[in-house]
A and B are shown apart, each in its own frame.
Chain A
Amino acid sequence: MTRAGWEVEAGDDGPVEDGKRALAYRADDGALALYNDYDRGRSILRTPKIPGTWSVRTAPAPGAHPLAAAAEVAGYGTFTFPYGPISAGVPEAGKFEVRTYGERVLGLVPVGGFKTRSVATSVLGLPVADAGLRVERMAGNLSASHVSAFLAAAESAEGRPVPTAELYVRALAQELQRLYNHVRQIARVAEAAAQNVGLAQVHALGEEILRLQGSVFGHRWMFGALLPGGPARRVDAADRDRLEHALGGIGAEFDVLWSLLLESRTFVDRLQSTAPLSKESAIASGAVGPTLRASGVGWDDRLRAPTPPYTDLFVSLPNETAGDALARILVRGAEIQASLVILEQLFDRWPTEESITEPAESPVGPGRGIARVEAPNGDLVYDVTVADGRVRRLQFRSPSAANWPAFAASMQDAVFTDFHFAFESFGLVFAETDG
């Protein structure tokens, strides 16, 4: 067992104190469990013999299935309002079953499994590079995070050395995609609040980021840009200059739009106290990423479980305590600014061309690797076993899968019209949940 570069505290099969630590990952066969100790800012890796009471699904099940538990509600006039799987306003296939007596949400069950493409099983036996093509197409808007985590796990399993420049390229791709996703999430919330001018301006910014990705990586979604062990595309000095210049413009533009949005009373009022999630229920429901950080828990893999190049960078940790939709959006806005700072540091410290070593021809050997990446919507974990250069076993826990129960909890007692604000503030993706 190898892991890609972060410190853990190995423990035995002891009980986990409620509320202090939350499960981040558990392999289906019970062979591996990963807990975050938020008090001490550490992760704990364990091999429990007794299955825990926590249930975060790692391998997506086939067919439609609930993604969170909701209370059974009975009472006069109550009924279930099915919404989806082709839901207006949610541009993905997924369903929500709302228990209600009209207007008010008494319980909400997200239902996934409409997009299950069985990536985790269909890559078995494929060479790592070919498997990467499927992994990056698990969730196109999160491709950089998924493929980076997958490759890091596979590389550490094989013991394959990775040039530093490639790690920088991966970090660059991830941060660009973080910018895109956060910008898009803000636009979606602005859309829900009918801030039409604002949403057009923010969407325009998102399109500029996509074009930037296209011009640097040749593909607007950076598909095929990251390969095991070696750079598929070199990001040369000219590219970096262009990026730096364009990102400067995007950052300046975002600052203006962000302050205009936050000056809009209708926008802020609509988000404030919508779909609140307390710190306790955020931890208890196993929330990760901006959702967790908006509820007052400062955990970010780039800080708490950093891999190069993040080990060498200054990463700020935007944090809110209100836990409502506004807090989640504020965290995203601040993370856009933080990401721009990270990108600047990347360009400053970019390894010189000479330091790039060509990848080793033959990988060292079979093994199992685990890697974590802070995706735009949270902690992403990959657990990969590789033998003879082919994937033998693949498990992952996506941030969306972890955040569905938190979303369902926050919608308790909300009204129907809160739905889009809440949903978009969580940044949930059915594609990566279903896998």
Chain B
Amino acid sequence: MFGWLGRSAARGILTTRYPDAPPTPSEAPVSAHAPEPRPAVPISPNAVAGCPVRAIAPDGVDQGRCIRCARCLAQGFEFSGPVALATAKRPDRPEGPGAILGGAAPLARLGRSIHVFLVDVGSCNACNLEVLSIAHPQYDASRLGIFFTNSPRHADVLLVVGVPTEAMVEPLRRAYDAIPAPKAVVATGACAIRGGVFEGTPGLRSGVDEIVPVDLYVPGCPPPPVAVLDALLRLIGRERTEAPT
């Protein structure tokens, strides 16, 4: 036991200062940022045609579809957008770079603490692991009053990852029903928003909001832990207000 104590003391504080400080490059590597056209560079037809998930349209980028594959970097784009992109509306066409369509925080009256129930409806595990890692020492969600729970009966937030398969439609509905009100649903990752790279595959639903009402969409493939933290804080109105640059 003393060995562990010594180890903890020797390592010091690992925890991020987010949301008091903007995310550091190690917390948010390049692909954690939203892709945007380089300043003064129009969106080229090549970029539109080359996007494997049809996220790029001539008039803007559908961040909910983007899987951060980096193909468009050769076509005049750069990963320079914000890390925290959570929106209350499906982010089909955000108004512009860095736009955050914040709705009223749906769980504001729960005050300072929420319990999160994670449901996987067909993910590749990357989203699951990114979401779970907010409980690890580097992010330590419990300091922000965010806890995971293993029962929907104790939950305030239904955090859904993955593209919904037919087999998971009923279980997801059951989980939603089992959560007492007030509750919020967070669709996390491109798959949960629009199906991601699997959009259009037979037997899969295009997004969680076809099954249960979604309060917040968190783009990314997968969204990094700071983006997940941002989304959860947004539910109780405690998110970092200054847009990270």
Partner of B136, one of A89, A91, A207, A257: A207
In whole Å, how far is A248's beta carbon from the nearest beta carbon of chain B?
Answer: 16
Measured between beta carbons, the chain A residues less than 8 angstroms from B126 are 137, 140-141, 143, 221, 223
Measured between beta carbons, the chain B residues less than 8 angstroms from A85 are 167-168, 171
In whole Å, how far is B133's beta carbon from the nearest beta carbon of chain A?
Answer: 6
Stretch in contact with the other chain, from A20-28, A70-78, A108-116: A108-116
- Complex contact A197–B4 (CB within 8 A): yes
- Complex contact B125–A204 (CB within 8 A): no
- Complex contact B133–A118 (CB within 8 A): no
For window 105-162 of chain B, which residues contact chain A by CB distance below 8 Å? Answer: 118-130, 132-133, 136-138, 150-151, 162
Measured between beta carbons, the chain A residues less than 8 angstroms from B67 are 133, 137, 223
State how many residues of chain A have any CB contact under 8 Å with chain B: 53
- Complex contact B68–A115 (CB within 8 A): no
Stretch in contact with the other chain, from A157-165, A210-218, A362-370, A389-397: A210-218
Instruction: Encode contact with A along B60-96: 1 for CB under 8 Å, 0 otherwise.
Output: 0000000111110000000100000000000000000
- Complex contact B171–A86 (CB within 8 A): yes
Given contacts A204-B137, A207-B136, contact A115 B123 (CB under 8 A): yes
- Complex contact B165–A116 (CB within 8 A): yes
For window 167-225 of chain A, which residues contact chain B by CB distance below 8 Å? Answer: 184, 197-198, 200-201, 203-204, 206-207, 210-211, 214-215, 218-221, 223-224
Instruction: Sort chain B's interface into a size bin.
Output: 35 or more
- Complex contact A218–B31 (CB within 8 A): yes
Give Cα A203–Cα B139 distance, bound, in whole angstroms: 11
Given contacts A141-B129, A198-B4, contact A204 B165 (CB under 8 A): no
Give Cα A203–Cα B135 distance, bound, in whole angstroms: 9
Measured between beta carbons, the chain A residues less than 8 angstroms from B239 are none
- Complex contact A429–B167 (CB within 8 A): no
Given contacts A122-B198, A256-B7, contact A211 B125 (CB under 8 A): no
Task: Using CB atoms, name the residue of chain B closest to A210.
Answer: B133
Measured between beta carbons, the chain A residues less than 8 angstroms from B121 are 93, 115
Task: Using CB atoms, name the residue of chain A closest to B69.
Answer: A224
Instruction: Encode contact with A along B192-221: 1 for CB under 8 Å, 0 otherwise.
Output: 000011100111100000000000000001
Measured between beta carbons, the chain B residues less than 8 angstroms from A92 are 120, 123, 125, 128
- B138, B151, B167, B171: most-surrounded residue (chain A CB, <10 A): B167
Question: Residue B233 at the A interface, CB < 8 A?
Answer: no
Given contacts A218-B70, A221-B222, contact A204 B138 (CB under 8 A): yes
Question: Residue B29 at the A interface, CB < 8 A?
Answer: yes
Measured between beta carbons, the chain A residues less than 8 angstroms from B222 are 140, 220-221
Give Cα A57–Cα B27 distance, bound, in whole angstroms: 39
- Complex contact A64–B197 (CB within 8 A): no
Partner of A86, one of B124, B166, B175: B175
Task: Using CB atoms, name the residue of chain B closest to A140.
Answer: B126
- Complex contact B29–A201 (CB within 8 A): no
Give Cα A118–Cα B163 distance, bound, in whole angstroms: 12
- Complex contact B221–A93 (CB within 8 A): no
In whole Å, how far is B27's beta carbon from the nearest beta carbon of chain A?
Answer: 7
- Complex contact B4–A223 (CB within 8 A): no
Question: Residue B52 at the A interface, CB < 8 A?
Answer: yes
Question: Residue A134 at the B interface, CB < 8 A?
Answer: yes
For window 207-256 of chain A, which residues contact chain B by CB distance below 8 Å? Answer: 207, 210-211, 214-215, 218-221, 223-224, 232, 253, 256
Question: Residue B3 at the A interface, CB < 8 A?
Answer: yes
- Complex contact B70–A137 (CB within 8 A): no
Measured between beta carbons, the chain B residues less than 8 angstroms from A429 are 125
- A118, A133, A137, A257: most-surrounded residue (chain B CB, <10 A): A137
Question: Residue B14 at the A interface, CB < 8 A?
Answer: yes
Partner of B52, one of A133, A203, A219, A431: A133
Question: Residue A138 at the B interface, CB < 8 A?
Answer: yes
- Complex contact B165–A114 (CB within 8 A): yes
- A63, A85, A143, A197: most-surrounded residue (chain B CB, <10 A): A85
- B68, B138, B165, B224: most-surrounded residue (chain A CB, <10 A): B165
- Complex contact B128–A62 (CB within 8 A): no
Measured between beta carbons, the chain A residues less than 8 angstroms from B14 are 204
In whole Å, how far is B81's beta carbon from the nearest beta carbon of chain A?
Answer: 15
Give Cα A204–Cα B29 distance, bound, in whole angstroms: 17
- Complex contact B119–A86 (CB within 8 A): yes
Partner of A204, one of B5, B11, B129: B11
In whole Å, how far is B142's beta carbon from the nearest beta carbon of chain A?
Answer: 11
- Complex contact A116–B203 (CB within 8 A): yes
- Complex contact B130–A134 (CB within 8 A): no
Question: Residue B57 at the A interface, CB < 8 A?
Answer: no
9 pairs, A vs B, C-beta closer than 8 Å? A93-B119, A114-B165, A115-B122, A140-B123, A200-B136, A200-B137, A214-B32, A223-B31, A232-B70
Given contacts A88-B151, A140-B126, 20 further A-B contacts (CB under 8 A): A89-B150, A91-B125, A113-B167, A114-B122, A115-B120, A115-B165, A116-B203, A117-B165, A122-B201, A197-B7, A197-B8, A204-B14, A206-B136, A207-B133, A219-B29, A220-B29, A221-B222, A224-B69, A256-B7, A431-B123
Q: Which residues from chain B sit less than 8 Å from chain A, CB to CB?
A: 3-5, 7-8, 11, 14, 25-27, 29-32, 52, 67-71, 79, 118-130, 132-133, 136-138, 150-151, 162-163, 165-168, 171, 175, 196-198, 201-204, 221-222, 224
